[in-house]
Amino acid sequence: MDMLMIQLEKDSKIPLYEQLYEEIKKGIIEGTIAVHTKLPSKRKLSEFLSISQTTVELAYAQLIAEGYITSKSRVGFFVEAIEELAYVEKTLPHHAIKKALNPQILIDFNPGKIDTSSFPFTTWRKYAKEAIDYHEKDLLLTGTPQGELGLREQIANYLYQSRGVLCSPEQIVIGSGTEQLLPMIMKLLGEENQYAIENPGYTQTHHIFSQYNQQVIPINVDEDGMQIQELEHSSANIAYVTPSHQFPTGAVLSASRRAQLLNWAAQDEQRFIIEDDYDSEFRYIGKPIASLQGMDHRDKVIYISTFSKSLMPSLRIAYFVLPEKLLSRYYNMFTYYTSTVPRFEQHILAQFMRDGYFSKHLNRMRKIYRKKLEKLTHALMPYAPTVTISGEQAGMHVVLTVKHEMNASTLSNIALQHGIRITPIKEYMLAPTIQNREDQFLLGFGGLEENDILNNIQKLMDCWNIQNTFR
């Protein structure tokens, strides 16, 4: 092969050698560069593409390291047969198809995103270094299945002070995410249960419950949270709720419904409440509402929360707090398993919390998210009453109601064609809801840049042809 015609983007954030490596690799996998082909020499290719010889050298070195090409001394570089890398061939077309079907996302209103620009990397690095410097031997061995005692102590303290959760570290179990802990809770609660879940609700729990063949009963949610009367008329014996900031509607479970829910649970030995308190750290309006767990005097609430929102979703650390009466069952069933969270991470987090950095981080992030929410509310004002906002008391997402001749699914597809991701509430529904939610969207704002919010909203409204009434 005399030459390789490759388009490189010199202004891209991706280094040139990586672009070159990716393009050649793609050619080899897709067969446009045939097996045994001799590639152009480093000098010739660098001259042809007007890039440095080092760039080509780095790209070729990576391809050699991954087995795509070989170097024959004084002869040149040759493409290898890659049948052995069957997994590459299998995954690539799928990936390529997905990319073609899903236009590039330029504005992402995904609720799972957090603000990544304010993470205290320096402090985190300090504790990570300390964990290695001072505890290396100890932390190499597996710890307690329940999670590190030091971290459980910090969590117990934090929960008492900020959420009114009353528990000892012995009641806390740490695991790698809510989604890994929920199946554990299900196993603890036994086989013959019927789960009431919020409708609309957190889709991840719908998947988990159905994967574990649990019977689920969708219960409607209104502006005061789960409708407890409907729960009372159902055959469910376990209620999964997000009372501080219902996902996805943002409703806060009212005080009277909290009491009703606890009373419902108290009426039968087999009844329990799973309280998912995933984003309660970020409350903007009014006083924080104490957890259901703190109000419970009958050992009926299993409290579950996560560091995915408050710190980072990639940390994969969440925890649940068991009522004392379920502890012996937990010890009988789960002490054979090793903790799913690496000890190093648990240790770093414990020290970070112990020295007050977690509270500082939360205070800082609360201000940042509050500002983002203000910008968002402000940006949406000119589009009222066509577009209204709700569920903005807490968290990192709100609900948009859009009065439009097209329904939310069509509007969401239109937005996607413009590179904007916004999800209709309908996608979080397990069954049709009493309240019409055809015109509602979930809008996550945590990952948006504060200064881009106005522009992001304008673009969304423009693509839906909704007029700015202030202009």
Ligand X SMILES: Cc1ncc(COP(=O)(O)O)c(C=O)c1O
Site string for ligand X, 55-94 (x = CB under 6 A): ----------------------------------------
Q: How far is the CB of 327 from ligand X (least distance, A)?
A: 22
Q: How far is the CB of 134 from ligand X (least distance, A)?
A: 29
Q: Residue 85 gets which letter from DSSP?
A: G
Tell me whether residue 27 or residue 201 sits nearer to ligand X (CB atom). Answer: 201
Residue selected from 156, 318, 394, 425 as contacting ligand X according to rule CB under 6 A: 318
Are the C-beta atoms of residues 43 and 53 closer than 8 Å to each other?
A: yes
Q: How far is the CB of 281 from ligand X (least distance, A)?
A: 12
Tell me whether residue 294 or residue 444 sits nearer to ligand X (CB atom). Answer: 444
Q: How far is the CB of 395 from ligand X (least distance, A)?
A: 9
Strands (E), 3-92: 38-39, 69-72, 76-79
- Does 209 bind ligand X (CB under 6 A)? Our answer is no
Are the C-beta atoms of residues 175 and 185 closer than 8 Å to each other?
A: no
- Does 178 bind ligand X (CB under 6 A)? Our answer is yes
Q: How far is the CB of 444 from ligand X (least distance, A)?
A: 9
Q: Which of residues 134-163 bind ligand X (CB under 6 A)?
A: none
Q: How far is the CB of 225 from ligand X (least distance, A)?
A: 13
The footprint of ligand X on this chain (CB under 6 A) covers a number of residues equal to 13
Tell me whether residue 306 or residue 393 sits nearer to ligand X (CB atom). Answer: 306
Q: How far is the CB of 411 from ligand X (least distance, A)?
A: 23
- Does 247 bind ligand X (CB under 6 A)? Our answer is yes
Site string for ligand X, 341-380 (x = CB under 6 A): ----------------------------------------
Q: How far is the CB of 353 from ligand X (least distance, A)?
A: 17
Residue selected from 306, 346, 401, 412 as contacting ligand X according to rule CB under 6 A: 306
- Does 253 bind ligand X (CB under 6 A)? Our answer is no
- Does 278 bind ligand X (CB under 6 A)? Our answer is yes
Q: How far is the CB of 423 from ligand X (least distance, A)?
A: 12
- Does 195 bind ligand X (CB under 6 A)? Our answer is no
Three-class HEC string of the chain: CCCCCCCCCCCCCCCHHHHHHHHHHHHHHHCCCCCCCEECCHHHHHHHHCCCHHHHHHHHHHHHHCCCEEEECCCEEEECCCHHHHHHHHHHHHHHHHHHHCCCCCEECCCCCCCCCCCCHHHHHHHHHHHHHHHHHHHCCCCCCCCCHHHHHHHHHHHHHHHCCCCCHHHEEEECCHHHHHHHHHHHHCCCCEEEEEECCCHHHHHHHHHCCCEEEEEEEECCEECHHHHHCCCCCEEEECCCCCCCCCCCCCHHHHHHHHHHHHCCCCCEEEEECCCCCCECCCCCCCCHHHHCCCCCEEEEEECCCCCCHHHCCEEEECCHHHHHHHHHHHCCCCCCCCHHHHHHHHHHHHCCHHHHHHHHHHHHHHHHHHHHHHHHHHHCCCEEEECCCECCEEEEEECCCCCHHHHHHHHHHCCEECEEHHHHCCCCCCCCCCCEEEEECCCCCHHHHHHHHHHHHHHCCCCCCCC
Query: What are 107's strand-pairing partners?
Result: 420
Q: How far is the CB of 180 from ligand X (least distance, A)?
A: 7
Q: How far is the CB of 309 from ligand X (least distance, A)?
A: 6
Q: How far is the CB of 247 from ligand X (least distance, A)?
A: 4
Tell me whether residue 169 or residue 248 sits nearer to ligand X (CB atom). Answer: 248
Tokens of 185: 């809770």
Tell me whether residue 112 or residue 419 sits nearer to ligand X (CB atom). Answer: 112
- Does 308 bind ligand X (CB under 6 A)? Our answer is yes
Within 8 A by CB and 6+ apart from 460, the residues are 107, 109, 415, 420, 422
Are the C-beta atoms of residues 109 and 457 closer than 8 Å to each other?
A: no
Site string for ligand X, 93-132 (x = CB under 6 A): -------------------x--------------------
Helix (H) or strand (E) holding 312: none
Residue selected from 115, 230, 276, 281 as contacting ligand X according to rule CB under 6 A: 276
Region of 35-43, 215-223, 305-313, 411-419 interacting with ligand X (CB under 6 A):
305-313
- Does 244 bind ligand X (CB under 6 A)? Our answer is no
Tell me whether residue 195 or residue 202 sits nearer to ligand X (CB atom). Answer: 202
- Does 242 bind ligand X (CB under 6 A)? Our answer is yes
Residue selected from 179, 222, 224, 438 as contacting ligand X according to rule CB under 6 A: 179
Tell me whether residue 46 or residue 148 sits nearer to ligand X (CB atom). Answer: 148
Nearest to 159 by CA among 307, 20, 60: 307
Are the C-beta atoms of residues 136 and 301 closer than 8 Å to each other?
A: no
- Binding residues for ligand X, rule: CB under 6 A, are 112, 177-179, 202, 242, 247, 276, 278, 306, 308, 313, 318
